[in-house]
Amino acid sequence: MKALLLINPASGREKVDKIVEVAKRRFLEKEYHLDIYFSKCAGDLTEKARLWADQYDTYITCGGDGTINEVVNGVMQSEVRPSIAVIPIGTVNDVAHILGFSHNLEKNFDIIFNTEPLPTDINKINDHYFVYVAGAGYLTEVSYKADRQEKKKYGPLAYLKTGIQGLSKKPFFKAMVQCNDEIYVRNVSLLLVLSADRFGGFRLPFFSKKNKLNDGLVDIRIFEGRDVTLLIKLAMFILLLGRKQYKQFHFTTGKATITPLNNNHVKWNADGELVTKGKIELEVIPKAIKFYVNPKRAKKLY
Ligand SMILES: [Mg+2]
């Protein structure tokens, strides 16, 4: 194995030092090659992940969901694609949870050394790649609005707090959704695209009945309604672990075009970052990158 540890140093010095120490020791024991790179600025890891893709067979990302997203966007721009492993640092770490990586460093390296990486779908919104979530409307603007300090202090609750504060501003649009040879027009308070069973730190095992991380499909759910109605629907969504509620619009697809009809400024969020505005083309790219996965999670999601 020839691996590159791609680190987001903004994640916290102490934790980063510990990870570097354990990584070096575990790679030395195996006599595998390990290089280490610290991100210099936002977007740097996308550039480097693309540039060095033919020099490594494995990238180990060290940071939160945003760090993984940066690396994935770089790897997708390359013909040769290293496998990706995920060491979580930071607050929410949805992708690490989805793949079964925890804060137990030794166990994470056991997975990297003792399992084969699994071909995994990557999703695309216009020209931006994402791993596990995209959306527009209420709540999706939250993750980049949630204050850094509050995220550190309250974890997922910071998102909820910012979400409740933003309720009166009610982002809302009429959308035309074209997918599976059908056209639907819906009023959207929140449109959520998920490839797995987790979002914003909340476990949603019943969001999709059959969706896997290697089936070329994602699930799309539209929440309608405003104010208290919307808040109740979202609370139920979390309490019912993602189950579809009465008359809710939900579909499974590998490709969709979504056109906001009455608002060109609808902002789209992917993996927690604002990526584009207005009309989108959504596409699943089947089995695009190999990811290391905890065997327990692999059984459920592959
Ligand atoms: Mg899928």
> How close is the Cα of 205 to the center of ligand 1, in Å?
13
pTM of the full structure:
0.91
Is 104 in the same domain as 231? no
Question: Under a CB-based contact definition with an 8 Å cutoff, are residues 11 and 64 in contact?
Answer: yes
Question: Do 276 and 134 belong together in one domain?
Answer: yes
| Interval between CA 195 and ligand 1 midpoint (Å) | 5
Cβ atoms 3, 57 nearer than 8 A: yes
How many whole angstroms from 242 Cα to the centroid of ligand 1? Answer: 16
Handedness of CA 246, 200, 251, 118 (dihedral sign): negative
Domain that holds residue 195: 128-286
CA–CA gap between residue 195 and residue 67 (Å, rounded): 18
CA of 165 to the centre of ligand 1 (A): 32
How many angstroms separate the CA atoms of 25 and 47, rounded? 28
Distance between CA atoms of residues 221 and 224, nearest Å = 10
Query: Which phi and psi angles does 56 have, rounded to 5°?
Result: -130, 150
- 80 shares a domain with 156: no
How far away, in angstroms, is 253 Cα from ligand 1 center? 9
CA of 168 to the centre of ligand 1 (A): 34
Task: Return d(Cα 167, Cα 149) in angstroms, integer.
Answer: 21
- 277 Cα: distance to centroid of ligand 1 (angstroms): 24
Residue 76 vs residues 73, 131, 214: alpha-carbon distances, Å: 5, 11, 16
Return the structure tokens found at 275. Answer: 């990526």
Q: Structurally, how many domains does the chain consist of?
A: 2
Q: How far is the CA of 267 from the centre of ligand 1 (A)?
A: 23
Whether residue 42 is contained in a domain is answered as: yes
How far apart are the CA of 273 and the centre of ligand 1, in A?
A: 21
Query: How far, in Å, is the centroid of ligand 1 from the Cα of 120?
Result: 9
Query: Which among 88, 115, 142 is the end of a domain?
Result: 115
CA of 218 to the centre of ligand 1 (A): 5
Distance (Å, whole) CA 92 – CA 70: 16
The number of C-alpha atoms within 13 Å of 207 and in the hemisphere containing its C-beta is: 27
C-alpha to C-alpha distance for 2 and 15, rounded to whole angstroms: 23
> Is 172 in the same domain as 274?
yes
Count of C-beta atoms within a 10 Å radius of residue 182: 9
Euclidean distance between CA atoms 222 and 244, whole angstroms: 10
Q: Are residues 77 and 102 in the same domain?
A: yes
Same domain, 14 and 148: no
Kindly give the parts of the chain with pLDDT less than 70.
139-171
> Which tens digit of pLDDT belongs to each residue from 81-133?
999 999 999 777 999 999 999 999 999 999 999 999 999 999 999 999 999 99
Q: Are residues 272 and 237 in the same domain?
A: yes
In a domain, 301, yes or no: no
From the CA of 65, how far away is ligand 1's center (Å)? 18
Expressed in angstroms and rounded, the spacing between residue 215 Cα and the centre of ligand 1 is: 5
Q: How far apart are CA 199 and CA 202, in angstroms?
A: 5
Fill in the amino acid letter for 250: H
Q: Which residue(s) pair with 277 in the sheet?
A: 267
Residue 297 lies in a domain: no
Write the CATH number for 28.
Answer: 3.40.50.10330
Distance 132 CA to ligand 1 centre (A): 9
Taking the centre of ligand 1 as the mean of its atom positions, its distance from the CA of residue 160, in whole angstroms, is: 26
